[in-house]
């Protein structure tokens, strides 16, 4: 790997922001707004994607996991710093493929790449993206906001595609499911706008809907009820085990929002799926029937 | 590895900035200034540090490589995002040790940790730090500035300790040399202040003094002459091979600056070691005797 050549060939063409000074420097000048936020996510080969995954979709996933974090706070993404720890055995064509995927999504989401670091490793591919965002409201919509009893709970899009797609990638399955796992659809500016206008508290769904809903409720000192028949599923079904698989799978990159009282919410952007309650814990129902909790609520970060 | 426990135990206590919202969220709110810059550096086990290096000094090195990038632009570091890809075989005591080293240097340099990501890996330890900085002048002092013929070239501190220290770490040697490699002394606020006041163009020395000086000259469309007897060496010597080892070794984290004409420079902060010339290329002298260039000018990024 010749770091300088590859940076020149694949990374520099993506860099257009004035603050990046054509990548001739170690630092970039950030655009500053009244309220700027930042996030960072890391993807590791063998942990967050499979060694057999095409690298262009891995590049897109890297951008999308960060974009959903920014959208979930009622903000739009602006500038990115990219770190690549590149395995010595992988060749230039694969590097080009990775950067092509990243390029597509930088353009898709209007993000300026402004800098980063590219190094070699004897281990698996490790990718880190740090992303800044400009808040559409006065500041980021936080997870913790002392949400009141009865506040409504909203979901931005279908969940469960991550789990079903991963199963297809490992066991074989529909090409459309596989594609859903490799390059997850994510939220759009209209979702960020709705969060900025109506969100009291919000979180991106990444560890499973049930687990993330409980986390969101707990951090607000509350409990939460979900009406399962209202949840937008990747694979529409009334089969409870298949509903549970989708409601507890990870990697969905949608937004879960507790809404302010009395604010109209764009029905294109969000769907009401439950409400906040004063009693701690998570409860579920399906067409008014109480449903017991599954053994696992989502993906716990254990290794 | 239990990501949530470890974050709670070792990372969260370091987080004090209001914008970090106690790490309860995926994003942090950045402090914004008239001119904010950002940088990102990655350290990989086996590439940038040895598997046998104590992790507290690896943590300090991670902070310092980023701090020197910020200081070199005439700015002071402000906020950090930290990504840790943690090898599954390493235990909690080592994680605590890494974070202890990071904590010492965050305090030393007045940096607020505001967020990041902690994940598992089957490979070597990979650490990425992204750092923002506040410019002390109107904006960052860039590498490229069309420096005029005859402009003076300045160095912020001793170089060569990285190379001699690495040799001590691999072959055995003085404990002080070993410590220099593990936890390199870096620049201070007075250096950033001097760059902001007097710097026309500046770069941090990380790939070897001679190579970095040539890069700095080339990006300004110029050549450069260095008076080797004026260069501040980690190991003071008049032995040319030992001078060359130090002037071409990497990992020094000092600043090389081309000064504006007629601006007084703090003699505590910088030492003049040469000048910019119109003819391209690097020339060397030692007490007015021309010295041929060594075969290698520094560490080229090849793997």
pLDDT tens digits for range B42-72:
999 999 999 999 999 999 999 999 999 999 9
Phi, psi of A266 (to 5 degrees): -55, 115
CB contact under 8 A, A302 and B25: no
Query: Measured between CA atoms, how close is A20 to chain B, in angstroms?
Result: 10
Average pLDDT over residues A67-79: 93
Q: pTM score, two decimals?
A: 0.89
Candidate from A126, A130, A204 with C-beta closest to B81: A130
Domains and CATH numbers, chain B: 3-135 (3.30.1330.10), 152-291 (3.90.650.10)
Separation CA A169–CA A173 (nearest Å): 7
pLDDT at B70: 94
Closest Cα in chain A to B124: A123
Radius of gyration, CA atoms only, chain B: 20
* pLDDT < 50 regions, chain B: 302-303
Q: Beta strands A271-277 and A281-286: pairing type?
A: unpaired
Average pLDDT over residues A27-48: 85
Average pLDDT over residues A139-152: 90
Candidate from A25, A38, A302 with C-beta closest to B27: A38
CB contact under 8 A, B27 and A2: no
Candidate from A42, A69, A86 with C-beta closest to B83: A42
Closest Cα in chain A to B116: A40
CB contact under 8 A, A4 and B301: yes
Residue A260 confidence (pLDDT) above 90: yes
Packed helices A55-71 and A175-182: angle between N→C axes, nearest 10 degrees? 60
pLDDT tens digits for range B93-147:
999 999 999 999 999 999 988 888 989 999 999 999 999 999 999 888 998 888 8
Reported confidence tier of residue A235, pLDDT bands at 50, 70, 90: very high
List chain A residues with CB under 8 Å of B26. 39, 69, 72-73, 203-204
A151 vs A166: which has the higher pLDDT: A151
Three-state SS for A157? coil
CB contact under 8 A, A121 and B121: no
CB contact under 8 A, A27 and B75: yes
CB A297 within 8 A of CB A226: no
CB contact under 8 A, B122 and A123: yes
Q: What is the DSSP string of chain B?
A: -BHHHHIIIIIGGG---GGGGGG-SS-EEPP--SSEEEEEEEEEBTTTB-TTS-HHHHHHHHHHHHHHHHHTTTEEEEEEEEEEEEETTS-HHHHHHHHHHHHHHHHHTTPEEEEEEEEEESSS-EEEEEEEEEESSSSPPPS-S-PPTT-EEEE-S-BSHHHHHHHHHHH---HHHHHHHHS-----HHHHHHHHHHEEEEEEE-S-HHHHHHHHHHHTT-EEEEEGGGS-BSS----HHHHHHHHH-----EEEEEEPTT----TTT-EEEEEEESSSEEEEEETTEEEPPPS--S---B-
Which of A27, A78, A116 is the best residue to mutate to test the B interface, defined by the most B CB atoms within 10 Å of its own CB? A27
Angle at alpha carbon of residue A178, lines to A176 and A182, rounded to 5°: 115
């Amino acid at each position: 790997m010749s770091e300088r050549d590859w940076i020149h060939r694949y990374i520099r063409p993506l860099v257009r922001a004035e603050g990046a000074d054509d990548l001739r420097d170690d630092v970039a000048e950030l655009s500053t707004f009244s309220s700027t936020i930042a996030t960072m996510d890391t993807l590791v080969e063998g942990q967050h994607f499979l060694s057999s995954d095409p690298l262009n979709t891995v590049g897109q996933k890297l951008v999308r996991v960060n974009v959903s974090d920014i959208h979930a706070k009622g903000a739009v993404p602006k500038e990115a710093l990219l770190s690549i720890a590149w395995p010595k055995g992988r060749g230039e064509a694969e590097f080009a493929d990775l950067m092509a995927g990243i390029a597509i999504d930088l353009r898709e989401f209007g993000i300026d790449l402004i800098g980063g670091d590219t190094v070699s490793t004897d281990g698996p591919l490790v990718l880190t993206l740090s992303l800044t965002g400009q808040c559409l409201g006065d500041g980021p919509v936080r997870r913790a906001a002392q949400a009141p009893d009865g506040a409504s709970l909203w979901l931005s899009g279908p969940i469960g595609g991550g789990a079903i797609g991963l199963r297809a990638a490992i066991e074989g399955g529909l090409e459309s499911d596989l594609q859903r796992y490799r390059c997850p659809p994510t939220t759009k500016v209209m979702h960020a706008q709705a969060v900025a206008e109506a969100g009291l508290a919000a979180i991106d769904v990444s560890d499973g809907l049930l687990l993330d809903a409980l986390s969101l409720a707990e951090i607000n000192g509350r409990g939460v009820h979900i009406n399962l028949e209202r949840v937008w599923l990747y694979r529409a079904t009334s089969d409870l085990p298949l509903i549970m698989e989708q409601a507890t799978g990870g990697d969905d990159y949608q937004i879960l929002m507790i809404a302010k009282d009395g604010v109209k919410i764009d029905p294109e952007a969000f769907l009401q799926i439950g409400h906040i309650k004063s009693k701690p814990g998570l409860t579920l129902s399906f067409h008014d029937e109480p449903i017991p909790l599954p053994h696992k609520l989502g993906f716990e970060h254990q290794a």
